[in-house]
A and B are shown apart, each in its own frame.
Chain A
């Protein structure tokens, strides 16, 4: 109950912040005569609603809790692997690393899905408002943007790592070694305006 109430409070706070940020940025065109201004219709009145609404994918605050669980699992794995005289560290790693990798993969998969969904629907709305036809180059830019912005490379790498790690394969060493570098490769990217 307490968990749910804190969740609702955070969600309400974030929604208020977003409304406060978005209200002054509505498009206003000032006409040549001073004193009169004419506001264009907002983009949100022209949006297409998706046919299937998955509730978790429209709730960004859900990722906050997954992120907190991810940090907790990381602390647990770090604590257990740094215990002295753990010559049988493989047992510890097998015990605590599978939950940690699972949480990290699920967090990144949820984030990727949410960002891709928002970018796809947002670009469709903008295309519908501006009326520009979708061409090959536009499609390429859209797909590349979705891949880069949503950290899809890291998610695919983590999914492969999870499968190899659970089956106790040797090749998992290759993927866990490039994990942190791929995260850094994905992170420095263009931020959306505003």
Chain B
């Protein structure tokens, strides 16, 4: 089993950093959408009628901060792995040499846990909001 994993790691080293690095531009879309959303929620056109919706504002702040913390800490770990520890010697039979081996070796350290926690927190928040919006739609439309 360890030999299979080692082979998997060796083939994965080459493509994984490229793939991971080139898909981080989505956080720019998230930042733009966050500011547009807050401008819409805090504009006088919106709150003059129903008041300020503090629940939606706090939800938006929570989900934006969680995804920002997750992205920032993952990028920090990737910079530590791929820049500072490029010459990781590896463990024979368990971890491959190089940055991906170092990334794997610190996967259960304290540094790697907050991004995972924030990722799952974000997942639960988004799914909960979707379920609540389903109930809103289901009970506001007639005929169901």
Query: Chain A interface (Cβ within 8 Å of chain B)?
Result: 14, 17-18, 21-22, 42-44, 47-49, 58, 60, 63-64, 67, 70-71, 74-75, 77-78, 81-91, 104, 107-108, 111, 114-115, 118-119, 121-122, 125, 149, 151, 154, 168, 170-171, 173-174, 177-188, 191-194
Contacts and interface: CB of A to CB of B under 8 A. Distances in A.
Interface string B109-144: 000010011111011111111110111111111111
Contacts of A14: 135, 139
A24 to B, nearest CB: 13
A87 B29 contact: no
Nearest to A181: B26
Contact of A78 (B107, B116, B131): B116
Most A CB atoms within 10 A — which of B26, B105, B113, B125?
B26
A184 B143 contact: no
A67 B22 CA distance: 31
Number of chain B interface residues as a range: 35 or more
Interface of B: 1-2, 5, 8, 12, 15-16, 19-20, 22-24, 26-27, 29-30, 33-34, 37, 56, 60, 63-64, 66-67, 70-71, 74, 91, 94-95, 104-105, 107-108, 113, 116-120, 122-131, 133-144
Nearest to B143: A47
Given A82-B113, A83-B108, A121-B143, A108 B127 contact: yes
Q: Is the contact region of chain B dominated by helix, strand, or loop, or is it mixed?
A: helix
A177 B24 contact: yes
A48 to B, nearest CB: 8
6 contacts: A77-B120, A87-B91, A111-B130, A184-B63, A184-B126, A188-B60
B6 to A, nearest CB: 10
B23 A180 contact: no
A110 to B, nearest CB: 9
B72 to A, nearest CB: 12
Contacts of B5: 88, 90-91
A74 B33 CA distance: 27
Contacts of A170: 12, 15-16, 19
Given A18-B139, A108-B127, A180-B70, A168 B8 contact: yes
Contacts of A22: 139-140
A84 B71 CA distance: 23
B8 A90 contact: yes
Contacts of A151: 130
Contacts of A64: 131
B70 to A, nearest CB: 6
A90 B95 CA distance: 11
Given A81-B108, A87-B95, A118-B138, A174 B126 contact: no
A40 to B, nearest CB: 12
Nearest to B118: A180
Given A60-B138, A82-B113, A194-B140, A115 B133 contact: yes
A104 B63 contact: no
